[in-house]
A and B are shown apart, each in its own frame.
Chain A
Amino acid sequence: MKKSEWGSTLPSLAWLGVFVLIPLLIIFVIAFRPTLPAGGVGEGWSLDAVRSLSDPAYPKLLGRTLGISAVTTAFCIGISLPVAFCLARLAPHWRSRLLLLMVVPFWTNFVIRVFAWQQLLHAEGPVARSLRALHLIGENDRLLGNSTAVVVVSVYTFLPFAILPLFAAAEKFDFGLLDAARDLGAKPFRAFCSVFLPGIRQGILTAFLVVFVPMLGSYVVPDMVGGADSQMIGNRIAQRNFNDRNLPAAAALSGALTLLVLGPMLIRRRKGAEA
């Protein structure tokens, strides 16, 4: 990097350092501190918090967190791909209007939108009543308080974050390539899979990261629309923090999750650099 480039990058580097890197380090440090009986972090060093990670409940919790995140990410990308494809093929003035319409609901506060979903999916809410009337669900089936509700609301929440990077990639895609694939004998869906998807793979990767990674730390949605069997790691961290007042245990769990996400990405990066 040139000197002038350092100058212009410095503010963002400083921002990242102060608000991301240092807090992250603090979390890792706290994970190795003892906890005080009254709550709060004690002096000296202790491995108690790290040892608490061997809780037999954690593997199941981790599995569920990964599962819910993966399913949500899959739905988000699955829905966003055709949306991005169609948006990119629209006339520009329609495109910007539809993008705006897509973003408008997100001007409402996130928590309020999740409350709205609570009302929608409530046992006496419009969705449950309609489904019961159509005999698609039984009298005692519930829409709220399970993993499905968590996935549905999470997909709703993260959809624009998946659509935007995919649309950005699709907009740069040369749709003449689809003609070429069709010309060479590919049916429309085949052309979509073997030419369009590889053509926007960078966008797919970005969409995956911006949905999957925040999903792993998801806490509000499972708390509000999920039940006991759809708790995620985020809920446990919150519980350790607010209920147990055990900050080191919360920090250890949080740090472990960070390493879990960061690890594969760093290895990938290393491999990419070697290749």
Chain B
Amino acid sequence: MPPLLRFENVTRRFGSFTAVRELTLDLEKGETFSLLGPSGCGKTTLLRMAAGFDRPDEGRILLDGRDITHLPPDQRPVNTVFQSYALFPHLSIRDNIAFGPKLKGWPSGEVRRETDRMLELVDLTDHAAKKPAQLSGGQKQRVAIARALVNKPQVLLLDEPLAALDLKLRQRLLVELDAIHDEVGITFLYVTHDQGEAMSISDRIAVMNQGIIEQTGKPAEIYEAPRSSFVAAFIGDTNFLDGTVTTAGDRFSRCALENLGEIVIDNDRTLRAGERVHLSLRPEKIVVVRENPALSPEENAIHGTVEDVIYFGSRTRYWVRCGCWRICAEMQHRRYQLDESLPQWGDAVWLRWHANDGYLLDRYREEDEALLTFPGEA
């Protein structure tokens, strides 16, 4: 099946700044697709080009096989939910929702029926006669969603729709948004800088940085198998380890870390001895134990001293000094544990992980370490 929405080699420059660089992206029908990245990565520019507010300098945009690159916004079967809601202040909630259908010349009975249906969908039937200024932030956002959805767009574009709301409301609306998506079955293109939002709502995510897509995949793929240091550091927290391959194997290779000895790594690509490799190791994959554990050949254990402990309730985060490395590890508390049974500041501990838990990066850039909450000192 051809993709529903396709960006093909799209480039967009603003003066000397390239916001989007030769980008190609396909959206399947019915999926929730997120563009995730820091501010200035080009995700909003991409969305605006899909909506028709901006045109690419090069490349084209196809909707259902049709070239819509130069179509004005009013002629595209897509609708946008704006970050600032952009509700019309002089119109009632009902008239805001009916704005699109009326423009399209639907019969008045149908306008009324569809508007009622949308009011019900977003649970605002009782507020239909109010003006936007009388609603709360969350209600306004639901009106914005209803106002876009009533037009039955082929793609619904959501531009950081929850960014202006507080955390609790954001989480609730996220669930509602997901339910709405299940109900209407329309393709969602969701732009956000919040990895949590993207992870929980998306079927697929494209992580963007400096105008290109770093990686596209299911949320779990993005988290578990980041291909670049940017993706690994932007989504969740991680440790970056780098070393030199000593023994290249079929499935597992051995690699020497600077003044820390050898570790075993899972190589999903062919390695050569002497090659320099970069590894992402998520904190929660590491087990902190007090005694030197018995290891299988695919397991690693390195010795260190606890330098910092942060207790989060459900989990505890440790920073452990291992030679010249400072490694972050995180442990869930599944069972009732008293503080004394957990490693404390200054304790000598072993960090243990399976080779499968470290992930070999295709691309590594040193500046991405700045994205980590507490960068380990190399």
Q: A201 to B88, alpha carbons, bound, how many Å? A: 13
Is there a chain A Cβ closer than 8 Å to B236's Cβ? no
- The answer to whether B72 and A190 touch across the interface, beta carbons within 8 angstroms, is no
- The answer to whether A184 and B53 touch across the interface, beta carbons within 8 angstroms, is no
Q: Is the interface of A mostly helix, strand, loop or mixed?
A: helix
Instruction: Select A177's contact among B52, B79, B88, B104, beta carbons within 8 Å.
Output: B88
Is there a chain B Cβ closer than 8 Å to A70's Cβ? no
- The answer to whether B90 and A174 touch across the interface, beta carbons within 8 angstroms, is no
Instruction: Select A180's contact among B72, B88, B90, beta carbons within 8 Å.
Output: B88
Number of A residues, CB within 8 Å of B:
17
Tell me which residues across on chain A come within 8 A of B104, comparing CB atoms.
185
> Which residues in window 176-199 of A have CB below 8 A to B?
176-177, 179-187, 190, 195, 198-199
Tell me which residues across on chain A come within 8 A of B89, comparing CB atoms.
199
Q: A183 to B99, alpha carbons, bound, how many Å? A: 11
Q: A185 to B148, alpha carbons, bound, how many Å? A: 11
Q: How would residues 200 to 238 of chain A score, 1 for a CB under 8 Å from any chain B CB and 0 otherwise?
A: 010000000000000000000000000000000000000
Tell me which residues across on chain A come within 8 A of B147, comparing CB atoms.
184
- The answer to whether A174 and B74 touch across the interface, beta carbons within 8 angstroms, is no
Is there a chain A Cβ closer than 8 Å to B103's Cβ? yes
A240 shortest CB reach to chain B, Å = 46
Known contacts A185-B100, A185-B151; A174 and B84 CB within 8 A of each other: yes
Q: How would residues 163 to 176 of chain A score, 1 for a CB under 8 Å from any chain B CB and 0 otherwise?
A: 00000000000101
Known contacts A179-B53, A179-B82, A180-B80; A185 and B103 CB within 8 A of each other: yes
Q: A187 to B100, alpha carbons, bound, how many Å? A: 12
Q: How would residues 42 to 54 of chain B score, 1 for a CB under 8 Å from any chain A CB and 0 otherwise?
A: 0000000001110
- The answer to whether B73 and A183 touch across the interface, beta carbons within 8 angstroms, is yes
Instruction: Select B72's contact among A176, A182, A184, beta carbons within 8 Å.
Output: A182
Is there a chain A Cβ closer than 8 Å to B86's Cβ? yes
Tell me which residues across on chain A come within 8 A of B151, comparing CB atoms.
184-185
Tell me which residues across on chain A come within 8 A of B72, comparing CB atoms.
182
6 A-B contacts (beta carbon < 8 Å): A176-B84, A179-B73, A183-B51, A184-B74, A185-B74, A186-B74
The 6 closest A-B pairs by CB, nearest first: A184-B100, A180-B86, A198-B90, A182-B73, A185-B103, A176-B86
**Supplied contacts A176-B82, A180-B80, A180-B82, 15 more A-B pairs, CB within 8 Å:** A174-B84, A174-B86, A180-B87, A181-B88, A182-B72, A183-B51, A183-B73, A183-B79, A183-B80, A185-B103, A187-B74, A190-B103, A195-B88, A199-B89, A199-B90
